[in-house]
A and B are shown apart, each in its own frame.
Chain A
Amino acid sequence: MTEAKKEKFIVPIGPQHPALKEPGNFEFTVDGEIVTDATVRLGFVHRGIEKACETRNYTQDMYLLERVCGICSHVHATAFVLGVEKLAGVQAPPRAEAIRVLAAELERIHSHLLWFGVAAHEAGFDTLFMYTWRDREVVMDILETLSGSRVHYSVNILGGVKIDIDQKLSDLIKKDMDFLEERTEHYMKVVTTDETFLGRTRGIGTLSRDRAKLLGAVGPTARASGVKRDVRVNAPYSGYKEFPVKMVIDQTGDLEARFVVRLKELYESYRLIREILEKIQPGEISTRIKRKIPEGEVISRVEAPRGELFYFIKSNGTEMPDRVKVRTPSLCNWGTITDVAVGHKLADMPMLLAGIDPCFSCNDRMVEIRSDSQPSQMMNWDGLRKYGIEYYK
């Protein structure tokens, strides 16, 4: 009709938006309620970690990389440590490997429960959100008692682990696993039978197997579409060689399938944790490793709660790495959103975004200050700090 009618109506979601717990920008072009186009813009929390790694030694890097993500901190450290150990030709003792897997699975439980709560919140199901987070506290408490911190457990050191488990802890964990398993069964019932919830998940955001493969989806997103991608099974690393896991696959590919896959993975984690606690061998928990890592390149792949985490580490024979490349799983799954979004309703977007369990873990502490009077200027961290101090003087 008129020009105005033809004009695109774009709904921005982010960088600051209640649906996103972290900054990211999505622009959805809508026609009424129907989405016709979608674009992604990332990098709002780019902290330049890859660059920063080049000026720190391996031990410091491990802690830095652990802080790439606040939810899956352990897997980042594990991926890095495994890579460095491979470069140095050191093998961590079996007990250390088992404890790494234990921490990784506990982390998976907390991450999946967190995601479950967030997804429920996006669906406007706040009660479910509160309940899952209440139950998530159980696993958070375990992690805190086990390692001493709720978020950054810092279980790893180069060549082993820092913490050990004893009988008392093991009994505590087993008891809590029973409780969580019971709760998960209940949530499974909610997710698969509650009519109002199914209205928001069934048949929404269906990603076919071929599409998922082509777009390079990883983790539960891919597995919900029937793509067999799980590093723990495909290329067992660390303690997963001794304690194998079963891959959870669903064929439907819609949001409901993603819920089901993640909840089923929780069962698998509970089982694995019990098995580790039963069968863990006594022994050393760390070996010594040289400060200087021999020259070489290594690839380290780890299955994070969100999918495959990829590390490429290049060493030049000094105490500091030459290059560390981090490819987080969320990055692969962005493509699936922009692909699937078209044709859905705006109301489904938060659910779709939550469906891949996004985690904005990128780079530099860089702030762009825009004002009408001055041309935009760039500030680095020091400059910004000075600016802040001056401003509030």
Chain B
Amino acid sequence: MNLSLHPLILLLVFPGGLFLMNIGLLYEWADRKLVARFQSRVGPRWFQPFADTVKLLAKEEIIPNGVHKFMFQALPIIALTGALTAALYIPMFGFEAAFSFEGDLIVALYMLSMMTLSIGLAGANTLSRFTIIGATRALTQMFSYEAPFLLALLGPAIAAGTWNIGKINTFTGENIWLILAQPIGFIIAVVGLMGKLELPPFDAPEAETEIVAGALTEYSGRGLALFHIGKNVELVIGLTLVVIFYLGGIANPIEFILKSAGLFLVVSALQSMFARLRIDQTVGLWWRLGALMGLLQLLAIIFGRYLGEILR
């Protein structure tokens, strides 16, 4: 499918801006509901995240003493725009990406990292102890998760022989699901995504029982709402990326919904199955296991391709 819409609409309404924010909130609801059902609870009703966001947006934004005011207000916006921009390069919902060029995978991933970076800066900006520890942890976690996640996404890219997300989508749609060909890559991608989004059990940077809300402790009102929306958007993008790369791509909206739902079920089950890892455990686990396995996988792929070429 190829829709030709005005770039401004692409940017502000669909698939960027409004639509993405709403679908993000819907994803949050789905996440909370699924986790609740796994925990034998009823869970929130569908409009809860919307209501939360509206409430937060309507509330007063308190700027604590001793912060850099401009940074404090700009960081949530940067985080959100980063996430939204990344969405433009990704074929959302079965439609083609709004923009694409050779190598947009790298740009998208870079944009996704803006979020964590902003959270880290936001935490370091305030004077509270909790935020500073949260920021340190968030940045530590970013450094340990970015690499394996990237490696995991590189696998399919190398297999497809392109850095263009749209082309990878077509490639995975035509071939067998890469989850079968590169199971390790899939696991690393999912877990890496959870670590990236600070979902449990990798939520040490915002562990409420230790450091209240981590880097975002001092945020309230609009800033907090924007961060939340940004995170939800990132959840949408992350899941879509994994679906595109490992679950046979998305050719139409139905396929998108079904595959994302299936992946979502796995992610929320993983969220509710483990105890929170300490930051040193998370980092250790990833550098020792994740990165190594990612590299092995990559080597195997390269070797396989090489072998294929020789045979051909």
Contact = CB atoms under 8 A, between A and B. Distances in A.
Partners in one complex: yes
A199 B275 contact: yes
A283 B283 CA distance: 64
B41 A125 contact: no
A336 B295 CA distance: 45
Task: Classify the interface of chain A: helix, strand, loop or mixed.
Answer: helix
Interface stretch (B55-63, B73-81, B198-206, B240-248): B198-206
Contacts of B279: 33, 347
B136 to A, nearest CB: 8
A59 interface: no
B272 interface: yes
Nearest to B204: A347
A197 to B, nearest CB: 4
B254 interface: no
Contacts of A18: 208-209, 212
Contacts of B38: 127
Most interface-central of A10, A18, A121, A124 (chain B CB within 10 A): A124
Contact of A199 (B204, B272, B277): B277
A11 interface: yes
A9 B133 CA distance: 11
Given A124-B200, A127-B38, A349 B129 contact: no
Interface in B273-306: 273-281
Contacts of A128: 275
Contacts of B41: 130
A175 interface: no
A19 B210 contact: yes
Nearest to B137: A33
Contact of A347 (B39, B210, B212): B210
B39 A124 contact: no
A349 B210 contact: yes
A12 B201 CA distance: 24
A126 B272 contact: yes
Most interface-central of B209, B211, B212, B281 (chain A CB within 10 A): B209
B133 A194 contact: no
B209 A9 contact: no
A122 interface: yes
A348 to B, nearest CB: 7
Contact of A345 (B129, B203, B280): B280
Given A196-B275, A349-B210, A126 B280 contact: no
Interface in A132-150: 134
Interface of A: 9-12, 17-19, 30, 33, 120-128, 130-131, 134, 194, 196-197, 199-200, 345-350
A128 B201 CA distance: 13
16 contacts: A17-B212, A18-B209, A30-B133, A33-B280, A124-B276, A125-B276, A127-B273, A130-B39, A196-B274, A197-B275, A199-B275, A199-B281, A346-B210, A347-B204, A347-B278, A350-B210
B114 interface: no
Interface of B: 38-41, 129-130, 133, 200-201, 203-204, 207-212, 272-281
Contact of B129 (A11, A121, A122): A11
Given A127-B38, A134-B40, A348-B278, A196 B130 contact: no
Given A33-B280, A124-B200, A347-B210, A9 B129 contact: yes
Nearest to A124: B276
A251 to B, nearest CB: 24
Contact of B277 (A120, A126, A196, A350): A196
Nearest to A348: B278
A369 to B, nearest CB: 21
A350 B209 contact: yes
A259 B176 CA distance: 47
A309 to B, nearest CB: 27
A124 B201 contact: yes
A328 B279 CA distance: 35
A10 B128 CA distance: 11
Contacts of B280: 33, 345
A19 B209 CA distance: 4
A131 to B, nearest CB: 7
A345 B275 contact: no
A347 to B, nearest CB: 4
Given A120-B275, A199-B275, A12 B204 contact: no
Contact of A125 (B211, B274, B278, B281): B274
B286 to A, nearest CB: 14
B205 to A, nearest CB: 11
Contacts of A19: 208-210
A128 B207 CA distance: 16
Contacts of A347: 204, 207, 210, 278-279
Contacts of B133: 11, 30, 33, 346
Contacts of B275: 120, 123-125, 128, 194, 196-197, 199-200
A124 B209 contact: yes
A10 B130 CA distance: 10
A18 B210 CA distance: 8
Contacts of A350: 209-210
Contacts of B272: 126-127
Nearest to A128: B275
Given A124-B207, A200-B276, 6 more contacts: A124-B200, A125-B275, A128-B275, A130-B39, A134-B40, A350-B210
A121 B272 CA distance: 12
A33 B281 CA distance: 13
A119 to B, nearest CB: 10
A146 B277 CA distance: 41
A290 B201 CA distance: 59
Contacts of A120: 275
A188 B201 CA distance: 21
A307 to B, nearest CB: 23
Contacts of B212: 17-18
A130 B40 contact: yes
A123 B200 CA distance: 11
